[in-house]
Chains A and B, each alone.
Chain A
């Protein structure tokens, strides 16, 4: 599989994984390894980012994984910026997955506050990966501000509904000059394969792995699906047609004569 580049850094894996909702930090650690991911995101509200002995953090091998702090829980740009600064001061990591989700139920991202926070954070030297609704114009505005990626959602987070926003995602993929990471709502390996097939650069999965009957096996399945989808995309998939087209043309013999 070809490599992924975000903010000048290259990665072999195109699967990013979240660390919430697992039954234990140990199961999480095994699933992270099985996923083949190189970027793992961790909610600043769940960990003591300045404490390496934190139950979750100590299970994440920093040699293997880039730790991507996220601002989950922030309702405003101010809160997200404050959390990001705190995380950078404590860890030296200047990457942040920007999440501004004022609605505690569907956790949908606020476009206004996200753009505001992204502007501030980029100016302060952060590598910003913003979680957004699948809004092509917002994606462009963020790209203009200088974010490292855009992370549009496939469907509401944790919903396992797959690519409900496919039509908009296709526009974002077509137009974006930064990597597009489809984030949220990807409930099955077939969903991530679909996202990769339409040209997403990467995907982020959490709930579907963490709450599976066997999270480690599910992480493996997602790894394979990401790879399958990416390779299919690179291989140049043909568009579906309404008329039949046989693999071996039935009337081919007429042309030979």
Chain B
């Protein structure tokens, strides 16, 4: 319970001021890629390393991963169809074949309909998602945050003993 509360509080803090909009948007799109594509794919290892190494917001990446995993489950048949279309593209056959014959590239399992379909979708979505997320964070800070802090639910949440313990611990840690 404490961990969940801590996570929510950190997210709210990050949204409010702690992290830059770019870092939050970066977390969202990287989490989205992992969420939309099959978890065990090799490229996700690279994304995880990027999340850890780059200064993106990890909490937002986790939230984004959770949300987009649910979306991916629903969109799985669409990813499969898109993957079939991509892998059967006449103009791409030579490229796919030479990629397939290269063991290192084959490691990415690009020849799987769901992997290629979901990855291509995720990459395409990155282009609108990054500016949209950045804009969204700015709008949140400007218009929504203050109002939200006045919500009874938020006040009640802040008034809980657990939250005060978290606040104390956070202050001590600096």
B partners with A: no
Chain A interface (Cβ within 8 Å of chain B)?
A: none
Chain B interface (Cβ within 8 Å of chain A)?
A: none
